[in-house]
Amino acid sequence: MMDRDPIDAYLDRLVEVLHGPGHEVRRALTESEDHLREAEAAELAAGKKSEEAALAAIARFGTPEEVARRYDLMRGLATPGQILAQAIMSLALVGSIILISIGFSGIVAAGGAAALGPKFIAGDQPGISYTPERCADFRSFHPEASTCEEAAVAHHLDETVGYRLTAGVLGLILLGVWWLTWRGARNRFGPRTVPSSFVPIATTASFAAASVVLGFQGTGQWLTSGVETGAGYMLSAAAVSLVATVVFGAWMVRALRSPAR
């Protein structure tokens, strides 16, 4: 037994993907519900059970995305302003996802430093030396450090983790603003011009490229200079990028298979 009426769930999804003025959306919903209920009644009369009848009616009706795409085609093209707004919204979503992933890499960097030592993330390259003034600066941040090098590593680690976490928080704020804007003004963006597959493709491509570049750089640094020379700085970011590539890659495949891409 299902907890929720499938037709209600379908209509909830349909209202999320329909664009256009309120009265058109309301009429589309009313007609869709009327049709689905009548189709459900016909399936029941043909001998199907309640849930089967509702699901059969939905299957005959088409996916919400497919139906919404036909309404978009019916209304014609979006205005240049709507196209620009859609492009900005899509790029803002991609940006927020990337910033949040940078925040995650801060957490991974902190974990890597705890597990393998701070030099794994923030160790300096061999041969680096600091002026007495710079050393004093590091020591002012970390008076507990016994050497200038130790103070420098602790300071680099603070910056690495701190900046990445700040990026993550900014990403969450941007995502919140994006969501509120989308929710409040969805109908003003007009017929969809930017394909729904754009965001998963852009994020997957970005994360895949970051995985390869950061992974090679970090591994190369590890192999040539050792584990305590900051190889984890790149590798922590590469690890998060790799996981994100898999997650957003799955979303991309699903979006490309959807008839309303």
Q: In the complex, which residues of this chain contact other proteins (CB under 8 A)?
A: 24, 27-28, 30-35, 37-39, 60-63, 66-67, 70-71, 73-74
Alpha helix (H) ranges present in 18-147?
22-45, 50-61, 64-75, 80-116, 118-122, 132-141
Which of 186, 177, 204 lies closest to 94 in space, CA to CA? 204
CA-CA-CA-CA torsion for 8, 13, 19, 20, nearest 10 degrees? 10
Nearer to other proteins, 31 or 51 (CB): 31
Minimal distance, residue 58 CB to other proteins, in Å: 9
Minimal distance, residue 8 CB to other proteins, in Å: 15
**How far are the Cα atoms of 26, 154, 155, 201 from residue 136, in angstroms, in the given order?**
68, 13, 12, 47
Nearer to other proteins, 70 or 254 (CB): 70
Nearer to other proteins, 25 or 231 (CB): 25
Nearer to other proteins, 50 or 219 (CB): 50
Nearer to other proteins, 40 or 228 (CB): 40
Nearer to other proteins, 14 or 240 (CB): 14
**How far are the Cα atoms of 37, 60, 111, 202, 237 from residue 64, in angstroms, in the given order?**
16, 12, 43, 24, 37
Distance between CA 203 and CA 198 in Å, rounded? 8
Minimal distance, residue 74 CB to other proteins, in Å: 4
Quote the tokens at residue 17.
Answer: 């993907």
Rounded to 10°, the helix 22-45/6-17 angle is 150
Please count the residues of the chain: 261
Minimal distance, residue 4 CB to other proteins, in Å: 20
Minimal distance, residue 18 CB to other proteins, in Å: 10
Nearer to other proteins, 32 or 229 (CB): 32
Kindly give, in sequence order, each residue whose CB lies less than 8 Å from that of residue 120, ignoring residues fewer than 6 positions away.
Answer: 112, 113, 227, 228, 230, 231, 232
Minimal distance, residue 39 CB to other proteins, in Å: 7
Minimal distance, residue 35 CB to other proteins, in Å: 5
Nearer to other proteins, 76 or 143 (CB): 76
DSSP class of 237 = H
Minimal distance, residue 36 CB to other proteins, in Å: 8
Distance between CA 81 and CA 65 in Å, rounded? 23
> Is residue 82 within a helix (H) or strand (E), and if so which, with residue range?
helix 80-116
